[in-house]
Amino acid sequence: MITFEQAHELLQSARNPSKGKPMYDMPNTRVMLVAGTIDDPSCLAIRYYNTNIVNLYPNGTYMAKTCSWNTRTTKKRINTLTPLNIKQSKGVWYHNNQPFYSGIFVNQDGSILEDNSSLSSVKTITI
């Protein structure tokens, strides 16, 4: 598992931080800045090829997403770099016996966070 602080240290050591920092022993995988600055990031990502599969936040939370790339390697990266424990049964991914969904938020112990506070800013339009 990689923490936000470890990912931040890796990114700071990058030759060109705007291109991210390659993850050692993980081909085609980089730490990228998503939001904030190199010195004060508010969100970092683990990018596999051109897909941010894990977002890391300073409060110790992780968001994992596949963007429909439900491959063996994506699952392996998410399991290695986050507290998620994804298993597969009959083609369906599960985390702690609950269905995995792209965009799942977990904290450092792997428990799922169901924070819908961002939905309060969504406007509904009646037609």
Encode 70-96 in three state secondary structure.
CCHHHHHHHHHHCCCCEEEECCEEEEC
Structure tokens at 78: 């998410």
Task: List 94's β-bridge partners, or say none.
Answer: 87, 99
Q: Which residue is it, tokens 């049964």? A: 89
Handedness of CA 71, 32, 86, 99 (dihedral sign): negative
Q: Amino acid identity, residue 110?
A: G
How far apart CA 29 and CA 41 sit, in angstroms, is 19
Judged against a pLDDT cut of 90, whether residue 22 lies above it is answered with yes
pTM of the predicted model, to two decimals? 0.81
pLDDT one-digit tens code per residue, 51-85: 999 999 999 999 998 888 888 899 999 999 999 88
* pLDDT of the residue at 48: 92
Task: Show me where the domains of the chain are located.
Answer: 4-121
Residue positions counted in the chain: 127
